[in-house]
């Protein structure tokens, strides 16, 4: 990977197709200047797509939505899901839904999968990163208190590992930043390779 990925990206109009403040903060590690334009698109997952492939599919939908309008920019589409017992857990609909998700995760190991799609013009490159996260056993009082904090409500799987949700986690196996929402190390590698192919054509 080029250690000068920030310099490479200076030549491009980079767009992050996500409203997540966490992704914005993480992308700033590798990219000095970029725009944030959230994708307004249909995020329904087709029934024939396996749970572990869902985030990569959705990242592609978001990326293409923005790249179709800003065809000269380099667009980054992302989506993160939590998969537990073969079920995809997105953002909770309400406090009750958040509590149910946390009860499902309690005492278990689940997968946090972030799909990323890079796009410019008609060229695209997609990948996924999977991190395994194990929760300790949670009491009903702990779950209720965490839901009451409000932190779970805008996060896949109803928790944020970078905040109070860290107190629920027993261990992780893989990329911590992937759980936050953007696997920056892998993204830098993939972006470098993607830009090399774009420049060679």
Residues marked as catalytic: 79
Tens of pLDDT along 53-94?
999 999 999 999 999 999 899 999 999 999 999 898 989 999
Are 120 and 67 within 8 A, CB to CB? yes
CATH of domain 5-200: 3.90.950.10
What pLDDT tens digit does each residue of the chain (201 aa) get?
445 788 889 889 999 999 999 999 999 999 989 999 999 887 788 888 998 999 999 999 999 999 999 989 999 999 999 999 989 898 999 999 999 999 999 999 999 999 999 999 889 999 999 999 999 999 999 999 999 999 999 898 999 999 999 999 999 999 999 999 999 999 999 999 999 998 886
State the pLDDT at residue 1.
46
Q: Where are the domains of the chain?
A: 5-200
State the pLDDT at residue 40.
87
How does DSSP assign 6-55, residue by residue?
Answer: HHHHTTS-EEE----HHHHHHHTTT-SS-EE----S--PPPTTS-GGGHH
Return d(Cα 9, Cα 157) in angstroms, integer.
Answer: 32
């Amino acid at each position: 990977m080029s250690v000068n990925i920030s310099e490479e990206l200076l030549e491009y109009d980079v767009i992050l197709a996500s409203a997540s403040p966490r992704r914005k903060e993480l992308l700033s590690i590798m990219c000095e200047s970029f725009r944030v334009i959230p994708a307004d698109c249909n995020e329904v997952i087709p029934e024939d797509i396996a749970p572990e492939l869902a985030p990569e599919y959705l990242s592609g939908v978001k990326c293409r939505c923005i790249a179709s309008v800003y065809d000269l920019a380099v667009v980054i589409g992302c989506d993160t899901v939590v998969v537990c017992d073969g079920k995809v857990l997105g953002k909770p609909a309400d406090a009750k839904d958040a509590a149910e998700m946390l009860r499902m995760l309690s005492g278990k190991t689940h997968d946090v999968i972030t799909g990323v799609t890079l796009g410019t013009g008609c060229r695209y490159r997609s990948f996924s990163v999977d991190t395994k996260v194990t929760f300790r056993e949670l009491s009903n009082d702990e779950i209720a208190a965490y839901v009451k904090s409000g932190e779970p409500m805008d996060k896949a799987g109803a928790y944020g590992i970078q905040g109070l949700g860290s107190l629920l986690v027993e261990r992780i196996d893989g990329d911590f930043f992937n759980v936050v929402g953007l696997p920056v190390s892998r993204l830098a590698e993939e972006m470098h390779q993607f830009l090399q192919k774009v420049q060679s054509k």
